Chain A
């Protein structure tokens, strides 16, 4: 669902064996072919290997980062600027009351296994995602849908129980992609979609291979790649080595900011620093003392110098945030000034709340580098105002999900929330923050009742302001997207409005 996990093990032996093979064939055939034409294959590195390849049944973002837009497509899609665009739905009409969505579906679209896409497939897929026994990770996004109707093969009608202003955006998510009935059960291991790339093979622990879909429906896109591979390398040092050796052509989410400098001398590689949706926030248990006192939470926020946190934890890469919202998101307000760093004021506020001598608590921090380092910086900052924070490393995801997310048995925790536009998590009940503010919930309800973008953005601004005042979590920074790739590779997304590795436009410069 969020955060980054590292798993040990990479197929170093396989890699070197394959490398040897490539080298020897290269020597036998000479190097004429490679130089003459632009390359049509790419190897993209990823830190985390997903456990399955079906984004509609499991939450890890790594699934979408392999499959979304490459294998699977949705009724709508989200482009590199975070905007909603039509995809399998050519166009749509929304009734004035916002309760009926009529989609005109694209015709002539075929799945990789030959099955034709039509309204019955779309209905099946949406019903599968919202059904009683659905395990869709974003099932609540379909909660507003009352009925799905299919008047004819190219028309899909969604009738809603209440207006859902973000529905079109949600339908663009990896978890909303349209799958067909015959292959749905096996998508976990052999995904079948309508996208520009077909699934070829998955060598567990090493890589996923894709090949161009020659029958891709969208003829306005000319695919330049014949094959693409996602290779999984968890260790940052190994990631850097693979990039330098050319084993991997691109690492869109390079793992260690402190190693970015080591690419500076390399003329072949370029470093592209973009935005992500990864909001690093230190959530507090809002019903547990002393965090139930708003003044305590505000005091802790003022004890934090966000710029120093970014410098210490992530080598200065990253953007401070004042709420659970990123500069990527529409309607963003810079609220870092609401409770800016001021240790003296923080101390005074803490005394006002009844803790002139501070207090002691424990942070449950996952093992990932960003979480551990940020915790250590926070620990030093809290010590300045007399607050003692013990760090308890909590293994992510299993133990963290059980103790913090499910049981909410914690004082403070820290994690990077990866989902875009997920400010609504503060209105969920139950959710691990235990934050309950009816005024905030009202604002978010209004967002769904509003269908015009400007009105929504204004409401999102209100929601951000409430959070920045209430401080249910310490809002720290947005992680950068540290992209490192061969300078000749073009078309990769610089920013990440939604976790993804869209290969549609990727090509090698000649």
Chain B
């Protein structure tokens, strides 16, 4: 704990992330204005002229839209990363246990998934099942699988060479049990750090998908679509682009700092 307090990167990251989660959770029950309510008479009002952050081209309150956008963005990203992390880690540790041809097949499979950008897979998915939250979660989640598969395979292989694991094997413990009791707990730190960092990436990708119209359909506010809609209003209402842009940047920055901080904090080699 004292170690944590001495790390500003970790603290700032934690503060931003907590604030983000707080805003997202508040948005479920309360926003200053209904985020989808149009009031065209009040359109394109500057920040503080109407509400806290002004209004968009339909007279909707930007602050309320950002709040709901935070919830949509976070919930989609968390689900996507959880999906990727669980499938990826399971794959990684199973491959580490079995090795052989399975390792070859799975790792080449990961290479293939890596080669397809999530935007592209989302477009293909969208063509089949229509765009929306589900499509975004699957597309981002699938992209996360190889990241976690590789990470957990590498980490698990190290654990398998440890003396206590060798001892467990020689005592005739089943491999599955060793994986559960020894391998998974020992690689969990690295997985947690990776989850935090991937969460930032997922938020960025989700924003990209909504920007291209592949995210949640209107009227649900999303940061990406707010940014896309703001493009032609850049001259007369720059805040429309600035606010969601800042929100995305802050969220990603916060999560990355938290991830970096966590990595330092959880590094067993660091004894200072």
Contacts and interface: CB of A to CB of B under 8 A. Distances in A.
6 contacts: A237-B231, A261-B236, A311-B40, A367-B213, A376-B58, A380-B36
A24 to B, nearest CB: 31
B38 interface: yes
Contacts of B57: 258, 312, 373
A153 interface: no
A393 B58 contact: no
Q: Chain A CB within 10 Å — which of B36, B130, B232, B233 has the most?
A: B232
Give 4 closest A-B pairs by Cβ, nearest first. A380-B38, A256-B232, A312-B40, A262-B235
Greatest chain B CB density within 10 A among A375, A377, A380, A383 is at A380
Contacts of A379: 218-219
Contact of B131 (A311, A377, A383, A393): A393
Q: Range of interface residues on chain B? A: 20 to 34
B235 A312 contact: no
Is chain A's interface secondary structure helix, strand, loop, or mixed overall?
helix
B105 interface: no
A373 B218 CA distance: 10
Interface in B39-60: 40, 43, 57-59
A392 interface: yes
Contact of B58 (A261, A262, A312): A312
A391 interface: yes
Contacts of B98: none
A292 B168 CA distance: 73
B213 A393 contact: yes
A259 interface: yes
Secondary structure call for the B interface: loop
A393 to B, nearest CB: 5
Interface string B87-131: 000000000000000000000000000000000000000000011
A259 B43 CA distance: 15
A236 B230 CA distance: 12
Nearest to B37: A380
A393 B36 CA distance: 18
A295 B57 CA distance: 32
Contact of A236 (B40, B58, B232): B232
A10 to B, nearest CB: 16
Interface residues of A, number: 24
Interface string A116-132: 00000000000000000
Contacts of A391: 217-219
B217 A392 contact: yes
A390 interface: yes
Given A311-B40, A380-B58, 6 more contacts: A258-B233, A258-B236, A261-B236, A312-B57, A372-B218, A380-B36
Contacts of A377: 38, 40, 58
Contacts of B36: 380, 383
A369 interface: yes
B234 interface: yes
A369 B232 contact: yes
Given A376-B219, A392-B217, A237 B40 contact: no
A308 interface: yes
Nearest to B235: A262
A260 to B, nearest CB: 10
B232 A258 contact: yes
Contacts of B40: 308, 311-312, 377
Nearest to B59: A312
Contacts of A261: 235-236
A423 to B, nearest CB: 30
Nearest to B232: A256
B219 A259 contact: no
Interface string A378-409: 01100100000011110000000000000000
Contacts of A392: 130, 217
Interface in B50-91: 57-59
Given A312-B57, A380-B58, A393-B217, A259 B38 contact: no
A508 to B, nearest CB: 28
B136 to A, nearest CB: 14
Nearest to B234: A237
A275 to B, nearest CB: 23
A340 B236 CA distance: 32
A312 B38 contact: yes
Given A311-B40, A380-B37, A392-B130, A259 B218 contact: no
Interface string B178-219: 000000000000000000000000000000000001000111
A312 B213 contact: no
B217 A390 contact: yes
B232 A259 contact: yes
B43 to A, nearest CB: 7
Nearest to B228: A372
A312 B43 contact: yes
A408 B53 CA distance: 43
Given A312-B43, A312-B58, A380 B236 contact: no
A258 B36 CA distance: 21
Contacts of B58: 312, 373, 376-377, 380
Nearest to A308: B40
B140 to A, nearest CB: 19
Interface in A104-154: none
A105 to B, nearest CB: 48
B242 to A, nearest CB: 16
B217 A237 contact: no
Contacts of B218: 372, 375-376, 379, 391
Most buried by A among B40, B58, B130, B234: B40
Interface string A306-342: 0010011000000000000000000000000000000
A372 B234 CA distance: 18
Most chain B beta carbons < 10 A, residue from A256, A259, A393: A393
Contacts of A367: 213
